[in-house]
Structure 1
Amino acid sequence: MFQWLVLTLIGLISLVYIFLVWNFGHWRRRGIREPKALPLLGSFPNIVWPRQHFTNDMRDIYMKYRETDSYVGTFLLRTPKLLLLEPKLINEVFVSAFRHFENNDASRMIDTRKDKLVACNPFVLDGDEWRRQRGIFSPLLTSGRIRNAYCNMQRICGKLCDYIERMSSSNQPQNGMDLGLRFTSDNLFDCVLGIEARSFTETPLPVAKHNKEMSEDNRGLALAGALNGLFPQLPRWLRPKVIPKSYDQFFGQLVHEAFRLRREQRQERNDFINHLLDMQQEHQLSESQLLSHAMTFMFDGLDTTSSTIAHCLLLLARNPDCQQQLWQELDQASSRDQLLPDFDVLSELPYLGACLNESLRIYPAGGWASKTCTSPYTFHGSLHSKALQMYPGDNVMIPIYGLHHDPNFYPEPQVFKPERFLNGGLKRYQQMGVFLGFGNGPRQCVGIRLGLIQTKAAIAAIVKRYEVHVNGRTLEGIQLDPFIFVGAHKGGIWLDFKRR
């Protein structure tokens, strides 16, 4: 009896092992180099055993093979992923060959029938449905509405600075990520929903709590990622719900209430919520679809914008000469009693834009991208003698963090040098395919203009009024927290502020 149990156990372990390594060799059989992959862990072991952020695993592979290969075959757990190393090919995937790589890999993880809050979010949709929903959403983000929202941003920037003033009186360091999230939630709730998030009061809406449930403590998302890595062809109906129920309820009820109040009052304002209601009639959207379009602002803007604000403040605090140069630009662009310049002036300030882009280079909000081949395409890598035929269903990964930290493109990549992005630097790096702070091509961040202006407004307001210093509680160097999916400085961003 005991022998049969042992044999059964050995058999089960053998079957599991065979299952985990079955796909290994997938790329080698197609003539592509495969860096070593481990059972269950794949090519990026820190996804499972997080000693460093897994984008560093990707960066390490990129740095090791970028001089010898245009691409290498990797495995996300056991799912084959072609890791692109040559910027020319990366630019093809995002731009010139976009119609062959239309779909984001996120669509393979999410069942939009279970997670209705993202049912109309362009980032998680495929093919024609992506085009349709983006076509509905994009007209929301006109220059006129963003300009109108800027009036509210100026007021909220004043609240942000007053909050910093109050908190600084305690002589305790302030959490940069918390400041960024308070500003971003107050701004998005106001300009999109016409609701006060009360982020700078003692009784704020619990946005931070629910955002943490979604982005940091999300077991459903972790499970979806694991299943996607282990079972790449998992049927949609078996995919888990990724949005926590408490998050669903909080934001769902809040947005429904915002729409109810605006319908009752029906104020004719050139803002986002009015246009959302007009859009519902024009496109015959259900209440659920309307809710999802409103939530696209929150999903795409809360974490990315707040993280960018915090990391930019950290880098400016570490580089007082750069901070002083930015203050001088802001001081010349507006009067002493004016917290922010006019909308058009702020949008075009060259050094402010350069600081923001350099921050996104060092701490990209998304350290990688994953795309799915939707129609046959041939890669002609300059480091390979034979072309590589890609087929529908093949996946490619783009090591954004690795590209952004490559000394071949960015000498001294760990050093904050905003001047890299002056005098046409941004356009040059984008054309090279080595700067992807907001993605690139038709599926780049749909809210890029709104995200840029609110990020610039927050940074400008703080630097105009305060000297920003790094508190000793902040860890040195550029370290990503391995337990946070979106790239964030390990240990938190702790800052001190001194009134100018």
Structure 2
Amino acid sequence: MCPVTTILLGLVGLFALVYIFLTWNFNYWKKRGIPSAKAWPFVGSFPSVFTQKRNMVYDIEDVYNQYKDSDSIVGLFNTRLPQLMVTTPEYAHKIYASDFRSFHDNEMGLFTNKKVDRILANNPFVLSGNEWKERRAEVTPGLSANRVKAVYPVSQDVCKKFVDYIKKQSKMAPSDGLNAKDLCLCYTTEVVSDCVLGISAQSFTDNPTPLVGMIKRVFDQSFGFIFFTVVANLWPPIRKFYTVPFFTKDVENFFFDIMKKCILLRKENPVQQRDDFLNYMLTLQEKKGLETVELTSHTMTFLTDGFETTAGTLAHMLLLLARNPETIRKLREEIGTKNLSFEELSELPYMEACIHETLRLFPPVLAARKVVTEEYEFVNKNGVKVKVYPGEVVIVPVSSLQKDPQYFEEPDKFKPERFLESNGGSKKYRDQGIYFGFGDGPRICPGMKFALTQLKSAMVEIVRNFDFKVNPKTRTDNQFDDTYFMAALKGGIWLDFKELK
């Protein structure tokens, strides 16, 4: 046999082995009597992760729509790793709340390492088991209603600066309008840095601090991290000895440096202390003997969780209101013209309904991926039972459930009235397992009170001071960005603001 033939046969054999490795368990769910969504070598059931032609959540939505009427569970493959997806609200609610013990942790925790990723690996969303319980117990009191109330005057002051900033930007706005996400990120950067650290990011000036630029990079996933997650799903044992940080090293070092400076400044100037989140963390440090790294990681939870999700929600809320001028009129009637106390701000039912309806259409978590922590048995609609075991992953198709016409009439329309207390409020939909705006169960977002306060504070001032419309540059549907891991309108949100006289 000639050398060329030998090489060709060797390559064919190698490709055959790779193909077998990638596909040999694609009958995993069928052997257990559970229907299985179509899967392809290397990409599994989520080809959009690699084609980048649409958001991966649409792959999930296709499977959901195909099986929701016939099955309550369906098998999927993340590359070659078998995972299970639920298609009923009943199971969604059990996973989040009533059977929480069996689905205690989030999948992201499988890809992080405290030595490599000090920021993300210490976030309560990522922590697992007893570590999560301990961290949440430590962090939650720092986000109590009383503490949020204590920094409310700071929020009001920032909101007034935000209004002035929009007025200034509007005068210089190009024909395609202002980028709503950038505006809102300036706001959340300023309000979170001030409320948490007691410093100004100078977000509304011509010379913002480096904090503004770094925040925009916080959630930019590196190619290395994406590639690592793919490899880790192909060969899970790699997680035991190798990992890649979600946050790039320069971003991590920047935030740790600024945290250390703020902590030192606060300790050196006790007279200037106030009842904010950093003050709470310093008290916790003395009480529990936390090291500086631990204190910094703890406090970073307030920062990273407050910037992006709140900015995205505020931007999409402005978009949906601008598309529906009648909702703006109703909000103006509700908020009136006087300065609102913290208690009065908390009692704006129509405003809160608008927030929940925004989160229904543009949820920060498009699909929840829960790690099985205790053996659990699912029963399909045809009576077939299947057990899942610790370490396996179960998917809750959050976006699909929240936009299913079976549960929400005209699901693509912005109808805040659904969430009014007279119609049962957000709790009704959460208890039904069809709404997860802030999550549900024991791991519901600990910063929900703070986020609602920041959203309402900003919206009150914007609605009072501006008439705003959607610029023609903005698309008219709700299609998600092709690659971003949270819900974001494809092409961006561009608005035209006009100051009210």
Matching of residue 465 in structure 1 with residue 469 in structure 2: no
Relative distance call for 1:220 and 1:258 in structure 2 (3 A) is farther
Q: CA deviation at 1:7?
A: 1.5
The one of 396, 418, 431 aligned to 2:394: 396
Q: Distance in 2 between matches of 1:282 and 1:164?
A: 43
Q: CA deviation at 1:386?
A: 2.5
Relative distance call for 1:304 and 1:21 in structure 2 (3 A) is same
User: Unmatched 5+ residue regions in structure 2?
Assistant: none
The one of 320, 325, 331 aligned to 1:326: 331
User: Unmatched 5+ residue regions in structure 1?
Assistant: none
Q: Distance in 2 between matches of 1:16 and 1:113?
A: 33
Relative distance call for 1:212 and 1:58 in structure 2 (3 A) is same
Say if 1:380 and 1:386, in contact at 8 Å, map to a contact too: yes
Aligned to 1:34: 36
Relative distance call for 1:129 and 1:48 in structure 2 (3 A) is same
Aligned to 1:178: 182
Aligned to 1:143: 145
Q: CA deviation at 1:25?
A: 1.4
Q: CA deviation at 1:220?
A: 3.5
Q: CA RMSD in A?
A: 1.4
Aligned to 2:48: 46
Say if 2:34 and 2:384, in contact at 8 Å, map to a contact too: no
Q: CA deviation at 1:388?
A: 2.4
Aligned to 1:421: 419
Aligned to 2:217: 213
Which AA in structure 1 matches 2:28? H
Say if 1:220 and 1:240, in contact at 8 Å, map to a contact too: yes
Q: Distance in 1 between matches of 2:94 and 2:471?
A: 43
Say if 2:184 and 2:315, in contact at 8 Å, map to a contact too: yes
> Runs of at least 4 residues of structure 1 off by over 4 A?
none
Say if 2:201 and 2:212, in contact at 8 Å, map to a contact too: no
Relative distance call for 1:456 and 1:23 in structure 2 (3 A) is farther
- Aligned ranges for residues 112-127 of structure 1 at < 5 Å? 112-127=114-129
Matching of residue 354 in structure 1 with residue 359 in structure 2: no
Deviations 1:318-377 (A, max 9, x none): 01111111121112xx42xx4xx2111111211000100000000111101101111112
Aligned to 2:259: 255
Number of paired residues?
Answer: 493
Deviations 1:206-230 (A, max 9, x none): 3443234332352233133323332
The one of 284, 287, 296 aligned to 2:289: 284
Q: Percent identity?
A: 39
Aligned to 1:430: 430
- Aligned ranges for residues 46-445 of structure 1 at < 5 Å? 46-172=48-174, 173-267=177-271, 268-331=273-336, 334-335=337-338, 338=339, 341-381=340-380, 383-422=381-420, 423=422, 424-445=424-445
SS at structure 1 position matched to 2:39 = coil
SS at structure 2 position matched to 1:498 = strand
Q: Distance in 1 between matches of 2:483 and 2:74?
A: 26
Deviations 1:240-295 (A, max 9, x none): 12210110121111111000100100234211111111101111111101000111
Say if 1:82 and 1:397, in contact at 8 Å, map to a contact too: yes
Relative distance call for 1:496 and 1:224 in structure 2 (3 A) is same
Say if 1:376 and 1:389, in contact at 8 Å, map to a contact too: yes
SS at structure 2 position matched to 1:235 = helix
Aligned to 1:485: 485
Relative to the length of structure 2, the TM-score reads 0.96
SS at structure 1 position matched to 2:316 = helix
